[in-house]
Amino acid sequence: MSEDLAARVSAICREYGSDAGRMMDITRAVQAGFGCVSEQAVEVIAAATDATVADVESCVSFYSFLSSEQKGKVVIRLSDDVPDRMAGFQRVLDAFSDELGIQPGETTEDGAFTLETTACIGLSDQAPGALINDVPVTHLSSDSAREIVRELRRHMDPRRLVHEEGDGNNAHPQIHSMVRNNARGMGAILYTPYNRGEAVNKALSISPKEVIRAIKTARLRGRGGAGFPAGMKWEFARNAPGEAKYVICNADEGEPGTFKDRVLLTERSDRVFAGMTIAGYAIGAAHGILYLRAEYKYLRPFLEAQLEQRREDGLLGKSVVGREGFDFDIRIQMGAGAYVCGEETALIASCLGGRGDPWNRPPFPAVEGYLGCPTIVNNVETLCCVTKILEEGSATFCEYGTRQSAGTKLLSISGDCLRPGVYEVAFGITLRQVLELCGAEEPVAVQVGGPSGQMVGESDFDRQICFDDLPTGGSMMVFGPDRDLLEIVENFMDFFVEESCGYCTPCRVGNVLLRETLSRVRNGAAEPQDLDHLESLGETVRKTSRCGLGQNSPNPILSSLENFRHLYEDLVSEAPDGQRRSFDLDRAVQEAAEITGRDPAHAG
Amino acid sequence: MSDEFTVYIDGVEIAARPGQTVIEAADEAGVYIPRLCHLPGLPPHGSCRMCTVIANGRSASACYQPVSPGMVVENDTDDMLEHRKALIEMLFVEGNHFCMVCEKSGHCELQALAYRFGVTAPRFPYHWFPREVDSSHPEVIVDRNRCILCARCVRASRDLDGKQVFHFKHRGPHKKLSVNATARLKDTDIDVTDAALDVCPVGALMRKRRAYDVPIGERLYDHEPIGSDIEHRASSAPDPVEPAEVGS
Ligand SMILES: Cc1cc2nc3c(=O)[nH]c(=O)nc-3n(C[C@H](O)[C@H](O)[C@H](O)COP(=O)(O)O)c2cc1C
Ligand code: SF4
Ligand code: FES
């Protein structure tokens, strides 16, 4: 074993207190330093942290940004999501592949470049996008892909690829990114001026119980997707016995087509951190963790600096705003590429340094979460709403929205529309109004809530965006008349298959079977009964899966079967000649023809 | 016991105690809820989902779900039967299971469940993923073709043997059983007397050269369907039952 490697890996372990609970940070740092977490590195880490070799391997093999195989100095991860595909993903991939002389998944012989595809990176409004090491590049074309490779060959420094910075804080020296906010809709959270420290001061001037009451009076429900009442969650955690309690901000933003948290973290990080501090005060926590998805690593230096500034300003640290007895600080925990880690129990498991396997509930995190302590997990946007409620009062907050869904909602809109971007709208707005806002000229279908949500058509356009009608964590993809909806559905199923944690049978196996059946339908090799199969299989996966990933993964198929059934039926109905309409004789005999080396008799 | 309360499983009243899970209360009362990953004596794992029931209107895994007074549980219903059959089929097509040549046949819980629920041939296509066999150890063999990722061996090694011989690697459909060594099973500290070797519900983890100690025809599930032992408890006088010892 190389002594140098052993010494450097040990040093990394020491930096994180040789604590197996910081395995994510340790393995990430080793990956960054050596381009892989090799077998030798695994042994050193296991010895240093008192973990088993199997523990370390299990963690490394779980996350897509960690690998046991050597990666190139520059890793190009092209985002493979539906909006990327709609905007020319394949051409860009081919260009990268051709220019580098490697296939996706491979590394160039000189060890300089690795080319990969990855799940949605949170840039669907400027697709196709890619991450080059940590640096996001947007609006790619085959030309710009080639140009990027040529330029990188000259300096090998992805940061220098940023020739023109984006708007707002994207141009901040600590971010220095070409990403654009595309913040278009005017709304209370994104646009109202921000008075630093105001919300925290106001919260600390009342009792924790009164803070929780204010959140309840504002009828704030979680913005991460499930819509759980935030005040109630906080009250559980406040009343749960425990010396230490934790506040976690869920910035994993992994639902394909969602990117509103990216904009909030870029432009309104103060509101996010204030919201966490207020939550800490309310439930009696001294520690906060911001779980930041690996894809948003480029925001980390900026966010760290913001935290440091808040410490200097007395808004974090010992005796927050001079309040004796209320200490609160925040650390950033980086993710490593796993959608399931957005699920709150998986997120906590990941923060604890292992695989991101969700837990069975009970226990609920509010009672037994991080390190076994009462823990609340809230979405970035939810915490911004908290700050807003403290700034302006519960009544003002409720002026927007409906009775069951108070306030505003940020939508991430992508796909076939003139103005993709982030819109802040009042709950209760109809889908049709949203489509007008973003300039969707001929919408045929809309994926509301990302792949986990619903694919709806024209007959649903007058429904309202809110928790009781058409709920959404924010993702909204618009599809025009030229799109192959079933191809899109299949793409979503690919996503779920890859992102399942693999813990439970229905999600691990069922999603593969759902995808396989769908693909048979699309290839014209399915029977009409296969549609019933899809429905019953989908129902089993939905009913028996252990966490929200599997419970929602059949949604693309089930909702498109419901709303666009004719697309399926066209592919499986029998034609008058008794054959399936989509049956292609040439394709069916192609393999046999190749093997025998003969032209099929019916040819010509 | 004074703090006992009533729970209803498919309309039948059973007695339960605070702190019990649905499956524990059902086992004591002689009501069989099918299971694969659960084994009394080990902490629950909740991965196979065979034990899914509807508890107070919501899907829940009976091996995890705590009982509460008056809880209404749906277990043996047409819906649940369909889901369980589908789960059994999923496990069959995910792995490479050849019952006719498997040493575990007759002792295999997956096979026994298929018989009990009338799954003769899966409706789904087989995955046919290549799986590794590790026969490096002189006394023990791991055949991942048959592994259903129930984590019984992982838990038994950790909690009963005080070792950590087994773990999992990768995620999603690529998830597989791993051993605690950078190389193979022979490099771990597994011992042929380990309790971890008694718990595998299928033929994935076995002691070598013991496969036919019990002849075919005299095996666990050759005469009565899986679950019968539990169901007999309902007909016989319901003595308080201690959870079965692992490995006995
Ligand atoms: C597979 C899966 C992925 C999720 N991803 C996210 C996410 O990226 N961000 C988020 O805030 N919530 C996500 N959630 C929801 C969280 O589990 C949790 O409900 C949420 O963070 C709670 O915060 P809220 O109440 O403020 O919405 C996800 C849930 C599931 C099942
Ligand atoms: S539903 Fe999927 S992601 Fe959730 S526990 Fe099961 S396998 Fe893991
Ligand atoms: S027995 Fe409950 S999930 Fe396996």
User: Can the peptide bond before residue A363 be classed as cis, meaning omega within 30 degrees of 0?
Assistant: yes
Tell me if B124 and A513 make a contact (CB, 8 A cut-off). yes
Tell me if B49 and A509 make a contact (CB, 8 A cut-off). no
Select from B87, B149, B174 the Cβ nearest to the Cβ of A506. B87
Residue with tokens 């690919």: A494
Predicted confidence band of residue B246 (pLDDT cuts 50, 70, 90): very low
Tell me if A502 and B170 make a contact (CB, 8 A cut-off). yes
**Which of the ligands is closest to the CA of residue B46?**
3
Best to test chain A binding among B84, B90, B180 (most A CBs inside 10 Å)? B90
**Which of the ligands is closest to the CA of residue A546?**
2
Residue B106 has pLDDT above 80, yes or no: yes
Q: Which chain A residues are within 8 Å of B182, Cβ to Cβ?
A: 39, 42-43, 53
Tell me A564's DSSP state. S
Structure tokens at A293: 């998805």
Mean pLDDT, rounded, of chain B: 93
**Percent of chain A having pLDDT more than 90?**
90
- Ligand 2 neighbourhood includes A545 CB (under 6 angstroms): yes
Predicted confidence band of residue A587 (pLDDT cuts 50, 70, 90): confident
Looking at domain A409-479, its CATH class is: alpha beta
CATH superfamily name and code, A74-166: Glutaredoxin (3.40.30.10)
Alpha helix (H) residue ranges in A224-288: 230-239, 260-267, 269-283
pLDDT (0 to 100) of residue A602? 64
* A205-222 pLDDT, tens digit each: 999 999 999 999 999 999
Does residue A181 contact residue A166 with C-beta atoms inside 8 Å?
Answer: yes
- Ligand 3 neighbourhood includes B50 CB (under 6 angstroms): yes
Q: How far is CA A172 from CA A177, A298, A330, B178, in A?
A: 8, 12, 22, 46
pLDDT (0 to 100) of residue A520? 93
In chain B the beta strands, taken as DSSP E runs, fall at: 5-9, 12-16, 52-55, 58-61, 72-74, 133-134, 140-143, 166-169, 176-179, 205-207
Does residue A290 contact residue A251 with C-beta atoms inside 8 Å?
Answer: yes
The larger pLDDT score, comparing residue A192 to residue B75, is at: B75
pLDDT (0 to 100) of residue B243? 44
**CA B205 to centroid of chain Cα atoms:** 13
Structure tokens at A339: 């959608």
Nearest Cα residue to atom 19 of ligand 1: A226
**CA B202 to centroid of chain Cα atoms:** 9
Distance CA B82, CA B60 (A): 16
* A395-433 pLDDT, tens digit each: 999 999 999 999 999 999 999 999 999 999 999 999 999
**Which region among A259-268, A371-380, B124-133 has the lowest average model confidence (pLDDT)?**
B124-133
Closest alpha carbon within chain A to B65: A362
- Ligand 3 neighbourhood includes B47 CB (under 6 angstroms): yes
φ/ψ of residue A551, rounded to 5: -65, -20
Predicted confidence band of residue A593 (pLDDT cuts 50, 70, 90): confident
Best to test chain B binding among A498, A544, A551, A552 (most B CBs inside 10 Å)? A544
Fold of A485-578: de novo design (two linked rop proteins) (1.20.1440)
pLDDT (0 to 100) of residue A186? 66
Nearest Cα residue to atom 1 of ligand 2: A550
Distance CA A36, CA B183 (A): 18
Predicted confidence band of residue A576 (pLDDT cuts 50, 70, 90): confident
Among chain A, residues having any CB pair with chain B shorter than 8 Å are 39, 42-43, 52-55, 57-58, 61-62, 338, 340, 355, 360, 362, 497-506, 508-513, 516, 533, 536-537, 539-540, 543-546
Alpha helix (H) residue ranges in B146-191: 152-159
Residue with tokens 């496969």: B211
pLDDT (0 to 100) of residue A582? 64
What distance in Å separates residue B29's CA from the closest CA in chain A? 23
φ/ψ of residue A74, rounded to 5: -115, 125
Tell me B239's DSSP state. P
Predicted confidence band of residue A601 (pLDDT cuts 50, 70, 90): low
Select from B49, B125, B174 the Cβ nearest to the Cβ of A504. B49
Predicted confidence band of residue A590 (pLDDT cuts 50, 70, 90): confident
Atom of ligand 2 nearest to the CA of A545: 1
pLDDT (0 to 100) of residue B247? 40
Select from A42, A52, A498 the Cβ nearest to the Cβ of B172. A498
Among chain B, residues having any CB pair with chain A shorter than 8 Å are 44, 46-49, 52, 59, 61, 64, 66, 79, 82-83, 86-87, 90-91, 93-94, 123-125, 127, 148-149, 164, 166-175, 178-182
* B107-127 pLDDT, tens digit each: 999 999 999 999 988 888 898
Range(s) for CATH 3.10.20.740 in chain B? 5-76
pLDDT (0 to 100) of residue A233? 98
Domain B94-120+127-207 has CATH 3.30.70.20: yes
Residue A203 has pLDDT above 90, yes or no: yes
Distance CA B230, CA B32 (A): 6
Predicted confidence band of residue A1 (pLDDT cuts 50, 70, 90): low
pLDDT (0 to 100) of residue A349? 96
Mean pLDDT within A102-120: 97
Fold of A184-398: Rossmann fold (3.40.50)
Tell me if A54 and B124 make a contact (CB, 8 A cut-off). no
What is the CATH code for B5-76? Answer: 3.10.20.740
First to last CA, chain B: 28
B23 C-alpha vs ligand 3 centroid, how far in Å? Answer: 9
Residue B235 has pLDDT above 80, yes or no: no
Distance CA A419, CA A413 (A): 8
Tell me if A509 and B171 make a contact (CB, 8 A cut-off). no
pLDDT (0 to 100) of residue B122? 85
Tell me B186's DSSP state. G
Range(s) for CATH 3.30.70.20 in chain B? 94-120+127-207
Residue A289 has pLDDT above 60, yes or no: yes
Q: Where are the domains of chain A?
A: 3-62, 74-166, 184-398, 409-479, 485-578
Q: Which chain B residues are within 8 Å of A58, Cβ to Cβ?
A: 167-169, 178
Q: Which chain B residues are within 8 Å of A50, Cβ to Cβ?
A: none
Predicted confidence band of residue A446 (pLDDT cuts 50, 70, 90): very high
Predicted confidence band of residue B248 (pLDDT cuts 50, 70, 90): very low
pLDDT (0 to 100) of residue A239? 98
What distance in Å separates residue B83's CA from the closest CA in chain A? 5
B63 C-alpha vs ligand 3 centroid, how far in Å? Answer: 5
**Percent of chain A having pLDDT more than 70?**
98
pLDDT (0 to 100) of residue A361? 87
Mean pLDDT within A330-358: 96
Mean pLDDT within A154-168: 97
